[in-house]
Structure 1
Amino acid sequence: MKTPTRIPDMIGNMGHGMEYVDYRIQLWRKKYGDASLSRSDFLTDAEKERIRYGEYYDWLREFSSPAVVTNHSLIGSGGTEKTSYTIGLGYTLDNGMVGKESFERFTANIGLEHRISEKVKMSLSSYLSQNDTDQGSNDALLNAYLLPPIVSPYDTDGSYLFNCQPTSSKINPFVQAENNIRKREEFYANVTASLEVKPVEGLSLKSQFAAQHNSDQSGEWVGTMTQQNSGVNPPSASRSEGRNLNFVWDNIVTFDRQFGKDHKLNVIGLFSLQKETHKGSSMSGNGLPYESWWHAIQTADEILNVSSYYWEASMVSAMMRMNYTLKDRYMITLTGRYDGTSRLATGNQWGFMPSVAVGWQLKNERFLESAEWINALKLRLSWGKSGNNNIDHDITWTKLNLTRYVFGGTGVNGFEPAASRGNKELRWEMTSEWNVGVDFAFLNNRISGTVDLYDRRTDDLIFARSVGSINGYSSILQNIGKTQNRGIEVGLNTVNVAHKNFTWRTGITFSLNRNKILDLYGDKQDDLANRWFIGHPISVQYNLKQLGIWQEEEAEEASKYSASPGHIKVLDKDHNYSIDEQDFVILGTPSPDWTAGMNNTFVYKNFDLSVYMYAEIGGLYSDDFTYMFSAWDNEHWNKLDLPYWTPENRNNKYPAVGAQSYNTQVLGLVSGTFLKIQNITLGYTLPERIARKLRMQSARAYVSVQNPFTFTAYRGSDPEVIGENVYTQLSLYPMTFTFGLNLKF
């Protein structure tokens, strides 16, 4: 069972509709004067009646609802002396919390392993999945945010109104959800087969072939009674589909031997081939004659946006790795990898990535043998290079876009250069990393963990560099500059209490990363047009700095900026009484300063309780939701219930209602700091003797809750969705209660 949690606090929700009425009066007086309160569009007769009788509608809570999620899995295994198998079936149904949203998935998997002889083994595994998603309507939830509590979705006869607020353009979310259908179907199939031969002791030859296929089909139906068609225009629809196929063939040679008591050698050689193909098409149509969803677009009055695509990419890899251990104390690993990708142009397709790592098991040294409180202690040092192959397949090509124009009275097709220019000189984006780490366990393994420090430097980053459109394109892909990432990662596990009937264990993780640009074009100069600054992270918030809100005693100074008390006050960096981009400063970066997690597990006899907490501290993000619902002052829509400035409420963050303040973009910059209790699980395991009497190996029942508590200053539904697009990704975040039963026979 899941239910919306942290529903944003809009003005007048939860029955406090008079707060919205007060806001509406204040807004109209500020924008249009006292006389505007007698205008017919200030309040409709229906709205006045609802106010008179105190009938207010909480749009977000009424449009959303709790939903049931079911997840079933059945796993079986067995075999003979030479053959073993596993088989599994799964089913998930997730009914969405908003409108018609839902997700349904069927899965099946099978694994088979057969020993042909003592030296030959073969295996086969497969996984199938069918996913069906009803994505609901984007506009429906957005309208539920915007419509005020003095508006009702119902007509006098109890039926849904289409335009429930005649003074604005937003239609009834319930009607929108019924008439705007968006569905997606996906099918996945993964098959892996391998053959392994061990001709002599210590030598293994393995060949493995894997194929992954997935296809998807998406469709959208926009009926007449929708926001898009305004209750007037005929229906429209769109459809897209894609097919993807990926083959990977790995051939691995492994030599693993021990020589005498002191020497261990493990050598692995790999040769790999990979190829992927992608193809698909899409089309849309306006003016459909009947309700056919997207299955009869050919009947539309106008067929639009017909397109198709096909592309393929491949990669060849060769790798050799050697691990040598001396006396179970000293370890060294040498690796060389050579990759070639079709995504880059001839002459730059190959990249060599070497690495070396050494380790020292201090616990096995004689001088620590007597230290019984030390169970494990290992030091590690490594250096290596890695390449980035996560790039588009056509980045080296300058593409042409199809354009249509009239020539000689006839429509013809033409082509024009795309906005981005390709670059056949692009090279591999390479990252070199130093890492030093320690693994430890103390006090009979009551305290254990790892600590890693790293320094990563990336050369030849592939960036789209903005250029003047006078060149015929607005950006060009280039290998640009150097960046550095430094950080620390810590994992700590403790057994705090260990008694016969009670144990308490804690697991802690901590991560901190700092990144900055070291150079761009070899001259250590910033690139202001692209917002790249030497010594700062790649992505920064470069904007005006809010100093507060102009107060009444600052009226004279505010007037120099064409502002007045209640308007946003920003930094005038050059002190010229003109606010423009020359006053922009670096405010922060959209990534946390550090993250941490903690899991506590308590076991008392057959009961177990676990509590997991997660925190992200720092980071400054640009959030469309906060901007839209705090900066916009539409005379008919709702907004976030915030402490907006008044002469009595002299806050320094949010401007006065109806102030029509400049520089409102600063309101969309929000902190990403939060602490979450992400999961609490309570379980009970049936005693083994009782389970056996019931002909079971084990049985466990549990109940859990996800996202029960979130501590943050963020005003949206959840801090982990900061930055979502309000027009295509707007969501409500769930708190989920799970009741489960695990049975093993």
Structure 2
Amino acid sequence: MKFLPFKFLLRYSLLLLLGTQYAFSQSLTVKGRVNAENGEGLPGVSIIAVGTPIGTTTDKDGNYSISNVKSDAKLSFSYIGYLSVTETVGNRSKIDVVLKLDTKLLEDVVVVGYGTVKKSDLTGAVSSIKAAELKVTPIANFVQGLQARASGVQVTQNSGAPGGSISVRIRGNNSISGSSEPLYVVDGFPISGGDNPVAGGGSGFGNDNGNRLSVLSTLNPNDIESIEVLKDASATAVYGTRGANGVVLITTKRGKAGQTRVTYEGYAGQQQIRKTLDLMNASEFAALENELTGQNLFPNPAQLGEGTDWQKEIFQKGGMQSHQLSFSGGTEKSLFNVSMNYFDQNGIIINSNFKRGSIRVNLDNQVSRNFKIGTSLTYTYSVNNGAVSSTLADGTGGGIVLSALYAPPTESPRDAQGRPTMFTGRYLDFNNPIAVASEVLNRNTTRRLLGNIFADWTIAKDLTYRASFGGDLISDTRDSYVTRFVRAGATVNGTGGRGNNNTNTILHESLLNYHKTLGVHDFNVTGVFSTQSQTQVTDAMSGQQFPNDLVFNDNLGQASILSIGSNKQQWRLDSYTGRINYNLKSKYLLTLTARVDGSSRFGANNKYGFFPSVAGAWRISEEKFMQNQKLFSDMKLRVSYGITGNADIPLYNSLARLSSVGNYNFNNTRNIGILSANIANPDLRWEKSGQADIGLDFGMLNNRLQFTIDAYQKKTTDLLLSRSVALSSGYGSVFGNFGAVENKGIEFSVTANIANNSNFKWDINGNISANRNKLTLIDGTRTEIIPGDGGGSVGPFTNNSILKVGQPLGSFYGYIFDGLYQTGENIPTGRVAGNIRYKDLNGDGAISAADQQIIGDPNPDYYFGITNNLKYKGFDLSVFVQGVQGGQIFYVQRLRMEGGAAGFNQFATMVNRWTPTNPSNYYPRVAQGQRINQSDVLIEDGSFVRFKNATLGYTVPAKGKLSWLNNARLYVSANNFLTLTKYSGYDPEVNTAGQNNLNLGVDNIGYPIAKSLIAGLQITF
């Protein structure tokens, strides 16, 4: 036998060894399915080849395919709410996995101030809303996503204008002069929830606060991962002087390790007004005018017919669309999430719209084993046209909608050249509503850069440090112009202006966290230092007497300058926070929090405030005596008490300030007078809230039914008010901490998993809340502050509410309607048959201010929300119902439009007005200059049940030629499509005065809320 040479054998052996190694480490494609324990496929499960950037996610049926996997690789399968599983590939090309539910779903992580906690370890009252819930209803403002979805949170759409103002109240109104809006914290950056301070343009028209642009409308709701609402003092105390009104934490989407995912989400649709108001037609109006003036202004009213329907002229079907493209992915070390969004909404009033473009970048990078850096950065550019302000300042009630209600139906909308007509004669002072909508420039342009960078350092095994630096840079420009086709512009040959408002907020936070487990004892200690400052600079210029209307306000040098102004203001807040979370055997939980705030807003004697809280929880379900029962799968009792503050008080009020008194002549020279504006108050401090809360969380039937009940009492003291002082001091009043108010209530929420199998799912989420509010102290010298003489002011801020100890804030005040005086009755001097009669409450035989009383309460008895989510195979259906019971509305315009006292149109009900042949006992006679007082007849029930949203969707199977899709869903959605209410105005969800704490539930005809129908697409690949 011939033997092979040794060198040949060596080479052959090495090649064989290398080939074997290659065979064992060759790249594979692994496919499979990930199921839940009930056999149903889980969509969106993250699958990562450990230690590599290779990854993917399951499709809607739980199937997956992952390529380029080595045979010695380990695949990690993870999904929120389920226990993770790791599988070694080996030589398998198919791996099926079953994921088990994670400890009764109680290990969900909830975001709280300066950290996160397991849901099971939560001691405070916190409501959580996830991205999936926000997507159900297409929204322009993320605050709308809170509406009726979180117990204890009342959201009111003050204005239906695109980008319009929204009010949020968490557990009631807490202030009089300060803000009652919650604090919003976006990825750790605190921002105010108040309306954007629109830059003044000096154009000749003012702002209706209910229609002001909401600064929160610049944030893109599609970027949000979750929203947590902190309600009780134990949860909000970490925000000290900013936590009294509750805190809303917004977390945006971040990248997840695995294959890069590209997602497109878009929708388009149309919105229109929900209802119009019944007004007199031309024939009816002409007859009323003849009767009112005693003249034959219209010889033959019947021939005029319907005339001009001005509401039809200004309202339109407005298109709306949204498009978002997102990129997400990364490795275990570097993660990214980038999104671009464009939103365009045309209002239901002609020439009103809101456009927003935004880009967001979230990056995370694990630089080393113990060091991580990241950033959250969002840039937004938005333009709001037409409807931010609805009332001209010329005193004519010339807002777009009011003009449409007042305008005589006997007038033509346009002249022969197609231009808006100018009313003449008796109607000279009224604006053509088409002109108000098309000949008034009212545009706000906002540029906003919001973001922060952070670094996490693991100093030791149990000790971590985070440093973050952030900024919120807002540049707002308001352009305004009124042409000669509108009365305010015609009298001065055009008036316009431009204003700029630059607000820069800077934040630094240092956070040190120590987490240690010693046997059955678990400690988590957090310390925070933060400093935040803001500088706001505004300038504005306005002019009139323009040579023409060609360039509007783009060349103010052509005009006669009317006013020039500028302003600068600053504030700073330094904070020191400490918190201890203690967990014993996962049964007994304790949270201790303390914060010290130092604010430049406070007086010299009260620069720093201390805000402590304590909360405890008992996991009853973990006790031995609960282990053998099967009814309750979880039960936790929570108790808390804490003190928080409201530092959102006017700037510089603690200081002695100077103000100008205008121009005066001195030696034939124009001079500006300067005088002392106020009494200095070095004791001025924050408004303080002490709140006690007791809550019970429990689940039944293996948590298929989950309930949360909370009862609370919140007492707010040191409310800011002006108190009268002796005139000998040189001043009329002093501003200080005098008042007190109390809120108490109960909240209940439930989640029910009715059905959950492979073909059919049905779950219900519901909540109901009731809050009782009352003023407990004014200033120690008065028990009430009465609003004037009840004469019925009908300006944008109605003098309609009383401050009275023992009564709710915003209580309506006025006379009691007692029918009409009739022919043959004993009628007082100065009154005639057909005039309104008011009750003589004090029995002195005369009607005076002493006969007024509280006639209504705008605060609801309770409010609720119910969401039904159903899925059958590829179809899904969601129905969302919102409701408010109780709560009254002061319908201001009925003072004018059912008063018969002026030469403008009236509600159609005035056809039934009092006449000698029609002795109505409700609708008064018409008469020039007739005085109508504010009374209970103008107060209406604001209760309603609204089918807020119904969405029907279908998920396209990712099979065959569509296997490249991860998810594709088509849907149609109807919003505000049905409202059940007795209210006679445009909509019962109204608050024309915006975020004002006293003028609640006031309807002075703002921008109506619309209903809409849209179709959308969500696709991921």
Q: By the TM > 0.5 criterion, same fold?
A: yes
1:211 match: 471
Q: Distance in 1 between matches of 2:728 and 2:975?
A: 53
Deviation at 1:172, TM superposition (A): 2.9
Map residues 132-281 of structure 1 onto 2, 5 A cutoff.
132-135=383-386, 138=390, 139=398, 140-155=400-415, 157=416, 159-164=418-423, 166-169=425-428, 170-230=430-490, 233-260=492-519, 262-281=520-539
Task: Report whether the alignment pairs 1:378 with 2:617.
Answer: no
What SS does structure 2 have at the residue aligned with 1:664?
A: coil
Deviation at 1:452, TM superposition (A): 0.6
Q: Which residue of 2 aligns with 1:450?
A: 708
Contact kept? 2:605, 2:682, Cα under 8 Å: no
Matches of 2:274 and 2:919, distance apart in 1: 27
Equivalence map 1:233-632=2 (5 Å): 233-260=492-519, 262-290=520-548, 291-301=550-560, 303-402=561-660, 403-418=662-677, 421-465=679-723, 473-522=731-780, 525-526=783-784, 531-546=802-817, 548-550=818-820, 552=822, 555-557=824-826, 559-560=827-828, 562-631=830-899
| SS of equivalent to 2:808 | coil
What residue number does 1:8 align with?
276
Structure 1 residue 703 and structure 2 residue 980: aligned? no
User: Could you tell me which residue of structure 1 aligns to residue 997 of structure 2?
Assistant: none
Letter in 2 for 1:701: L
1:635 to 1:421, Cα distance in 2 relative to 1, 3 A: same
Bigger mean CA deviation after superposition, 492-501 or 204-213:
492-501
Change (3 A) 1:563 1:520: same
CA contact (8 A) 2:969 2:1018 kept: yes
Counterpart CA distance in 1 for 2:781 and 2:383 is: 53
DSSP-derived class of the 1:628 partner: helix
Q: Against the structure 1 CA distance between its residues 581 and 706, is the aligned structure 2 distance closer, same or farther, given a 3 Å change threshold?
A: same
Write the letter of the residue equivalent to 1:435.
D
**Structure 1: distance between partners of 2:731 and 2:421:** 45
| Other structure's SS at 2:898 match | helix
Partner-residue secondary structure (3-state), 1:116 = strand
Query: Which letter does structure 2 place at the counterpart of 1:3?
Result: Q
- Alpha-carbon distance in 2 for matches of 1:311, 1:344: 15
Cα RMSD over matched residues? 2.7
**Is the aligned partner of 1:687 residue 2:981?**
no
The superposition leaves residues 554-588 of structure 1 with CA deviations (integer Å, 9 ceiling, x where unpaired) of x524x137545543232212112211111111223
Cα distance between partner residues in 1 of 2:629 and 2:923: 61
- Asked if the contact 1:8–1:640 (Cα under 8 Å) also holds between the matched residues in 2, the reply is no
Mark the CA change 1:524 to 1:560 in structure 2 (over 3 Å): closer, same or farther. Answer: closer
Residues of 2 paired with 1:704 and 1:649: CA distance?
A: 48
Task: Determine the C-alpha separation between the residues in 2 that align with 1:672 and 1:118.
Answer: 59
**Corresponding position of 2:26:** none
Alignment correspondent of 1:735: 1011
* Counterparts in 2 of 1:308 and 1:674: CA distance versus 1, 3 Å: same
Q: Decide which moves more: 401-410 or 614-623.
A: 614-623
Residue 893 of structure 2 aligns to a residue whose secondary structure is helix
Work out whether residues 503 and 602 of structure 1, in 8 Å CA contact, stay in contact via their aligned partners in 2: yes
Task: Say yes or no: does 1:25 pair with 2:253.
Answer: no
Tell me: CA distance 1:650–1:324, structure 2 relative to 1, closer, same or farther (3 Å): farther
Preserved contact between residue 397 and residue 424 of structure 1 (Cα < 8 Å) = yes
Q: Which has the higher contact order (CA 8 A, sep 6+)?
A: 2
SS at match of 1:363: helix
For residues 734 and 651 of structure 1, what CA distance do their matches in structure 2 show?
35
* Counterpart contact for 2:374–2:454, Cα < 8 Å: yes
**Offset, 1:202:** 1.9
Q: Bigger shift: 87-96 or 457-466?
A: 457-466
Structure 1, 125-134 or 657-666: larger mean CA deviation:
657-666
The 2-side partners of 1:324 and 1:163 are apart by 73
1:695 Cα deviation after fit: 1.0
Given residue 809 of structure 2, which amino acid in structure 1 is its aligned partner? I
What's the offset of the Cα at 1:472? 5.2
2:123 aligns with: none
**Secondary structure at 2:803's aligned position in 1?**
coil
Instruction: Determine the C-alpha separation between the residues in 2 that align with 1:744 and 1:366.
Output: 47
Give per-residue Cα distances to partners, 1:113-171, cap 9 Å, x unaligned: 1111111111012100001111258434332221233332134x463352256430224
Select 2:983's aligned residue among 705, 714, 739.
Answer: 714
Cα distance 1:552–1:526, how it changes in 2: closer, same or farther (>3 A)? closer
- Looking at structure 2, the residues matched to 175 and 532 of structure 1 have their Cα atoms a distance apart, in angstroms, of 40
Helix, strand or coil at the partner of 2:650: coil
SS at match of 2:489: coil
Percentage identity across paired residues of the two chains: 27
What secondary structure does 1:367 align onto?
helix
Q: Is the 8 A contact 2:867 2:879 kept in 1?
A: yes
In 2: Cα distance, 1:685 partner to 1:633 partner: 60
Question: How do 1:18-97 residues align onto structure 2 when only pairs under 5 Å count?
Answer: 20-26=282-288, 28-29=290-291, 31-33=292-294, 36-37=295-296, 42-43=297-298, 52=303, 54=305, 56-97=307-348
Distance in 1 between residues matched to 2:695 and 2:975, nearest whole Å: 33
Secondary structure of the equivalent of 1:393? coil
Is the 1:518–1:524 Cα contact (8 Å) retained in structure 2? no
The 1:171–1:392 alpha-carbon spacing in structure 2 relative to 1, beyond 3 Å, is: closer
C-alpha separation between the residues in 1 aligned to 2:751 and 2:809?
Answer: 34
Alpha-carbon spacing, 1:97–1:649, altered in 2? closer, same or farther (3 Å) = same
Structure-1 separation of matches of 2:728 and 2:1012: 54
Distance in 2 between residues matched to 1:166 and 1:32, nearest whole Å: 14
What are the superposed Cα offsets for residues 596-637 of structure 1, whole Å, 9 maximum, x if unpaired? 111122222221111111122222343433433333532343
Whether the 8 Å contact between 1:28 and 1:635 is mirrored in structure 2 is no
What code does the residue aligned with 2:1017 have?
Answer: L
Asked whether the equivalents of residues 210 and 247 of structure 1 are also in contact (C-alpha less than 8 Å), the reply is: yes
Does the aligned pair in 1 maintain the 2:492–2:544 contact within 8 Å? Answer: no
Q: Unmatched 5+ residue regions in structure 2?
A: 1-268, 391-397, 789-801, 995-1001
Q: 1:330 to 1:430 in 2, by over 3 A?
A: same
- Flag structure 1 segments of 5+ consecutive residues without an equivalent: none
Name the amino acid aligned to 1:685. T
Partner of 1:102: 353
Q: Which amino acid aligns with 1:193?
A: I
1:200-234 Cα shifts (integer Å, max 9, x gaps): 2221111111111001010111122222133x642
Q: Any idea what SS the aligned residue of 2:410 has?
A: coil
Distance 2:564 2:417 in 1: 42
The offset of 1:75, in angstroms, is 0.3
Alpha carbons of 1:511 and 1:51: their partners in 2 closer, same or farther (altered >3 Å)? Answer: same
1:679, 1:466 → 2: CA distance?
50
Which secondary structure does the structure 2 equivalent of 1:98 belong to? coil
